[in-house]
Structure 1
Amino acid sequence: MTAVDAEERPAATAPRRGRIPTAWLRLLPTPTSTPFTFSYGLVLLATALYADLGDQATVTQLLKESSTDAAHLADRPVLVLLASALWVAGGLYSAYGPAFLLVLTALERRVGGARTAGVFLAGHVLATLATELPVAGAVAAGRLPEASLHRLDYGISFGLMACVGALSGLLPRVGQWVLLGIAGAMCAQDLIELIDPMSSWGHPIALLIGLFCRPLLREGPAGG
């Protein structure tokens, strides 16, 4: 062994301490590689902080105005569909926040920001309409009380669940079934407990919407 080799060997074999592996960093969004998820994540972080730390009377009023209940959808559909997706149900302590970052980062890295946003929006809008329009019809037919038109319904869970369904088609077979198994178990638990019927039915509907999007995401290169 030469003197040069002896000097270089420790540096080459020394363990890297205090450094996060690149593979782990790829699980999180960045402004350059996943701009949609990164930007949207910052918005959700800001609203979650305000929901937990802001004036609760104001927060409650904002959530009511952002609700995608049947009455608001009939009055100002575009506004409430957009506004309701700016909040995370449960605030900073909700599991939806970390799940959003992991799932949408993985999806955006594979298909780009535009198609990721499209899947999220499709799940959020279509699952909301699929659960709220029947309520409006039932109220009009006299099968539900008028109070059913006014309920608190907001959050990112429908869009997130659609992205889960879409992402499953881009993973290896084992990862696909693991992801769908977890999502399916959550949907089944929702339907069994039926704490909030609209959300309980909306989650499996959103998952199916994401599954229907899978063939579209396999075609063509990823775009931003």
Structure 2
Amino acid sequence: MASAAPQAAVLWPFAEMALVLSLFFAVLAVKRGWGGEALIRRGASRVKEWALAAPATAALWVFLALHSITLGELTSDARTEVLRTHSTNLTQLAEHPVSALIGSALWIEIPDLPMVALLAVAVLAPTERWLGTFRTVVVFFLGHVLATLITAGVLTTLLRVETERYVDRGFGSVVDVGVSYGSLCVAGLLTYRVRSLPLRLLTMAALMAGVVASGAFFEDYTGFGHNTAVVLGFLFHPLARPAMARDAARKASSRPPEEYGNRPDEHAGSA
């Protein structure tokens, strides 16, 4: 899940000003017919088409962007407190389980927006176009909730075995928010879109290896949660069967018909 970056508070006012100015000049270019008008219109049209094809993904990204902008306006202490309140740490899961499980997937910080945009374009939107909006939302939140609960269960067990080690690291009140669990679960399920079984298994192995390797950049519990989310995506295979069947039917219908010249002529030899 996402981790905070203190530098964002310093850089955000400049980024905010640059964004506002960019939007202002883009609107002005379209209104007055400047040189880049066609390019801006084309870009806006592509964004609109993408959002209409994957409405849940677009709505999630906008929601996360608004939350991250809100956090960017807060002081460092207030920002940490808001994130901790919406985290899936052991304290919040014990006191406010439902709000922690759902709310933790809807908060990120500004430095995490590019990664979320990449996940939206490369994972969530393609899956939504393939599975449909309903199934994609179900997989995302199931992956997020189950990976969180499994990780919390493992961490609770570790706390009982090695209390000193894990309490000293503050795992009970750590900030743990973001869309990584849900997105990685969706990514695991998306591998079933690869029709060839050997290539699909290779894709699964590559995804798993990449997630395991990325664990070096996260806390132990977050890395474990990422691995769990991917495995859950693999296990959600039944939810992908209708889309796989549809792909197979589409592939079969696109095959060229047999050429009649290869068939014996029924009238051959007739007088």
What are the equivalent positions in structure 2 for 1:101-180 lying under 5 Å apart? 101-141=121-161, 143-144=163-164, 145-146=166-167, 147-173=170-196, 176=200, 180=204
User: Could you give the per-residue CA deviations for residues 125-154 of structure 1, whole angstroms, max 9, x where no partner exists?
Assistant: 111111112222333455345443221111
Whole-angstrom CA distance in 1 between matches of 2:208 and 2:157 = 28
Q: Does 1:218 align with 2:258?
A: no
Q: Which residue of 1 aligns with 2:89?
A: 69
SS at match of 1:85: helix
Whole-angstrom CA distance in 1 between matches of 2:237 and 2:155 = 29
Tell me if the contact between 2:72 and 2:109 (Cα under 8 Å) persists in the aligned partners: no
Which residue type is aligned with residue 172 of structure 2? L
Equivalent of 2:213 in 154, 172, 189: 189
SS at match of 2:194: coil
Rg bigger for which structure? Answer: 2
Tell me if the contact between 1:45 and 1:92 (Cα under 8 Å) persists in the aligned partners: no
Where does the alignment leave 5 or more consecutive residues of structure 1 unmatched?
A: 1-16
Whole-angstrom CA distance in 2 between matches of 1:26 and 1:64 = 33
Tell me if the contact between 1:107 and 1:116 (Cα under 8 Å) persists in the aligned partners: yes
Give the deviation of 1:66 after TM superposition.
0.8
Q: Does 1:205 align with 2:225?
A: no
| Structure 1 residues 137 and 177: alpha-carbon distance in aligned structure 2, compared to 1, 3 A threshold | closer
Tell me if the contact between 1:139 and 1:148 (Cα under 8 Å) persists in the aligned partners: no
Q: Which residue of 1 aligns with 2:62?
A: 42
Q: RMSD of the alignment, in Å?
A: 3.2
Whole-angstrom CA distance in 2 between matches of 1:51 and 1:122 = 26
Equivalent of 1:83 in 84, 103, 120: 103
| Structure 1 residues 89 and 187: alpha-carbon distance in aligned structure 2, compared to 1, 3 A threshold | farther
Matched pairs, number: 202
Give the deviation of 1:92 after TM superposition.
4.7
SS at match of 1:162: helix
Whole-angstrom CA distance in 1 between matches of 2:162 and 2:205 = 38
Which residue type is aligned with residue 223 of structure 2? S
Whole-angstrom CA distance in 2 between matches of 1:218 and 1:39 = 26
Which residue type is aligned with residue 40 of structure 1? L
Which residue type is aligned with residue 188 of structure 1? V
Identity %: 24
Tell me if the contact between 2:187 and 2:233 (Cα under 8 Å) persists in the aligned partners: yes
Q: Which residue of 2 aligns with 1:4?
A: none
| TM-score normalised per structure 1 | 0.76
Which residue type is aligned with residue 67 of structure 1? S
SS at match of 1:80: helix
Segments ≥4 residues shifted beyond 4 Å: 17-21, 25-28, 174-179
Whole-angstrom CA distance in 2 between matches of 1:49 and 1:175 = 41
Where does the alignment leave 5 or more consecutive residues of structure 2 unmatched?
A: 1-37, 247-271
| Structure 1 residues 212 and 42: alpha-carbon distance in aligned structure 2, compared to 1, 3 A threshold | same
Tell me if the contact between 1:51 and 1:91 (Cα under 8 Å) persists in the aligned partners: no
